[in-house]
Amino acid sequence: MDVLPAPIDPVPDPWPMAGLVLRTPRLELRIEDDASLRELVTAVHVSGIHPASEMPFRMPWTEADPRYLGRGMLQYAWSNRVRASPEWWTLAFVVRAGGRVIGLQDVVGDRFGVRREVATGSYLVRHAQGRGHGTEMRAAVLAFAFDHLGAHSARSEYTAGNGASAAVSARLGYRPDGTTTLVQRGARVTEQRLLLERDGFVRPDWMTAVEGYTPGLAEFLGTDRPRAD
């Protein structure tokens, strides 16, 4: 009698982040891929992010030669993919409004399985600013982090003069958590650190819809397993 081969376990998904999508009333946040990164590069080139006289970011990456800025954006995203592991990961969401790419929102976990803390960072192209999108996209990832990943706290920071980022943080419930001194363009700049604990999160009046948060992704991130709805 023929002996049947033992069943083969399904091949684990090598990149379980790829299908993760968050939706809010106005926005779609989808994990970046090469096609969406190219859309983001185009949006940044066309609209810009801030006036040349300002520098709202810790690293002055927007001062790169326009011929190489897009390449640098892609290389940075690729380097985060290469580095990703259960010990350190970045969930980089390309943000769309009305189907049009308007910015990037990321969530970083450093030994998340033990620390249960995330950090966030984001930017919007200029034509999309001043419409509440920054608050909406950060609220979406915070709700995902607290309710699905099991985070206990979230961190953010902003440099002196970045009123837009400070306002978003205040609306969502962050509290001051010290300062850091940076050097930007040869000058001393103060960076404000912020901390948000789960119980302090000022939630929006809508729910974040989550797609693609699979058991494989939960295991990779060192997080809580998806709940059965």
The reply to whether 5 falls in a domain is: no
The reply to whether 121 falls in a domain is: yes
pLDDT digits (tens, 9 = 90+) for 77-133: 999 999 999 999 999 999 999 999 999 999 999 999 999 999 999 999 999 999 999
Query: 14: Cβ–Cβ under 8 A, 6 or more apart, which residues?
Result: none
CB 174 within 8 A of CB 137: no
What is the CATH classification number for the domain harbouring 29? 3.40.630.30
105-110: list long-range contacts, CB under 8 Å, 24+ apart.
105/29, 105/137, 105/138, 105/140, 105/141, 107/141, 107/144, 107/145, 109/149, 109/221, 109/222
pLDDT of 8 > 70? The answer is no
pLDDT digits (tens, 9 = 90+) for 33-66: 999 999 999 999 888 877 776 766 766 767 778 8
Sheet of 187-197: strand order equals 175-184, 187-197, 153-159, 117-124, 100-110, 88-97, 27-31, 21-23, 209-211
- Predicted model pTM: 0.91
Q: Which of 161-165, 166-170, 181-185 has the lowest mean pLDDT?
A: 181-185
The reply to whether 10 falls in a domain is: no
The reply to whether 217 falls in a domain is: yes
The reply to whether 65 falls in a domain is: yes
Structural domains counted in the chain: 1
The reply to whether 48 falls in a domain is: yes
CB 177 within 8 A of CB 194: yes
Distance CA 108, CA 121 (A): 8
- Domain ranges, residue 146: 19-156+206-221
The reply to whether 199 falls in a domain is: no
The reply to whether 177 falls in a domain is: no
